[in-house]
A and B are shown apart, each in its own frame.
Chain A
């Protein structure tokens, strides 16, 4: 009996998504190592990758990169299928939906900073909603809402600026693709 080999052909796009997801996972892990005084507030650096992918390769690629990053990041951090993972997933999905709508806004008026801010707000709002409905139904989170939203405003702005800066850098590989 001959051993059958299953060959998975990875297209160029697959490899690109994998590489970008790996960048997101790296940022997720790096950010998990940053000590933060308040649980639940983190910079969300991986969203930089999601936004860059959204602008350069479209929403489908951004969704792949974001969801792969969430699942693989959770596997690395040991939070897979825990409430933390569910919060991360619901927040990520809601952000992706909002980005799908926001990327259709006129691009001369709405740039990465606005999209980053919208995604950050929706991300934390969804997570708080999940916590309120599912995890801690009897605890009022109203007192925490302004603090979380303020943090989302800051991180959304910072990440958006990083995206804008990165997009405005000269992009050598982009030129190579155009030339080829």
Chain B
């Protein structure tokens, strides 16, 4: 007997054994999952699959360069202020709350400071002081993870 014909759902099927209805466990296995359960199962599976496909490209790799040479490579996990010395003075790079920006720079036009917090994949370049900050996708390495 299919489960949806049984009156009272669970209790009826639970008592079926007691009522003397002889059924083999194997053929019943499909009926353990109710139609709504299939709905929940497939919705959950779709959610998981969607999350796997849409795993955000986490940009958490900050590369600070000075005169073309890598000054510091770091992540966004720790809030800090990095002072980068250059020909004009010190450029302050701020990492705060998972974001990075150039906080202060001795250059006259302040272009890289006005750029504000960097988006993923962006780079801020302070030309007169020869400092650049790039925010890129993480390449997992054993030192940081």
| Stretch of A15-23, A38-46, A58-66, A105-113 that contacts chain B | A105-113
Total A-B Cβ pairs within 8 A: 110
Name the residue of chain A whose CB is nearest to the CB of B34: A111
Contact digits for A145-156, partner B, Cβ 8 Å, 1 yes 0 no = 110011011001
The answer to whether A92 has its CB under 8 Å from any CB of chain B is: no
Q: Is A165 in the interface zone, CB < 8 Å from B?
A: yes
Shortest Cβ gap from B74 to chain A (Å): 14
B33: chain A residues at CB < 8 Å are: 111, 113-114, 160-161, 164
Q: Per a CB cutoff under 8 Å, which of A146, A161, A170 touches B52?
A: A146
| Cross-chain contact B36 with A109 (CB below 8 angstroms) | yes
What's the dominant secondary structure at chain B's contact region?
A: helix
Complex Cα gap A105–B40 (Å): 12
**Beta-carbon contact of A117 and B44 below 8 Å:** yes
Q: Encode contact with B along A166-179: 1 for CB under 8 Å, 0 otherwise.
A: 01111100110010
- Check: A96 CB closer than 8 A to any chain B CB: no
In contact, A169 and B77 (Cβ under 8 angstroms) = no
Let me know if B52 and A138 touch, CB within 8 A.
Answer: no
Q: How far is the CA of A146 from the CA of B56 in the complex (A)?
A: 11
* B34-A117 in contact (CB<8A): no
Please count how many residues in chain B sit with their CB below 8 Å of the partner chain's CB atoms.
38
Q: A110-B37, A110-B40, A146-B48 are in contact. Are A169 and B17 (CB under 8 A)?
A: yes
Distance of A36 Cα from B78 Cα, bound (Å): 30
A167–B52 alpha-carbon span in the complex (Å): 34
Instruction: Bin chain A's interface residue count.
Output: 35 or more
Query: CB < 8 Å: which of B15, B40, B47, B97 contacts A114?
Result: B40
- Bound together, the chains give a CA A111 to CA B10 distance in angstroms of 7
Q: Are B37's CB and A142's CB within 8 A?
A: no
Most B Cβ at <10 Å: residue of A55, A117, A152, A178: A117
Q: Are A114 and B77 in contact (CB under 8 A)?
A: no
A140 at the A/B interface (Cβ < 8 Å)? yes
Which residues from A are CB-within-8-Å of B36? Answer: 105-106, 109-111, 114
B108 CB within 8 Å of chain A = no
Asked if B8 and A117 sit within 8 Å, CB to CB, the answer is no
List the 7 closest pairs (A to B, CB-CB), nearest first. Answer: A170-B17, A164-B32, A114-B37, A107-B9, A109-B36, A111-B34, A146-B51
Some 8 contacts from A to B, beta carbons below 8 A apart, are A106-B9, A106-B36, A107-B9, A114-B37, A138-B98, A157-B41, A165-B32, A168-B14
Point out residues on A near B: beta carbons under 8 Å. 55, 105-114, 117-118, 121, 138-140, 142-143, 145-146, 149-150, 152-153, 156-157, 160-161, 164-165, 167-171, 174-175, 178
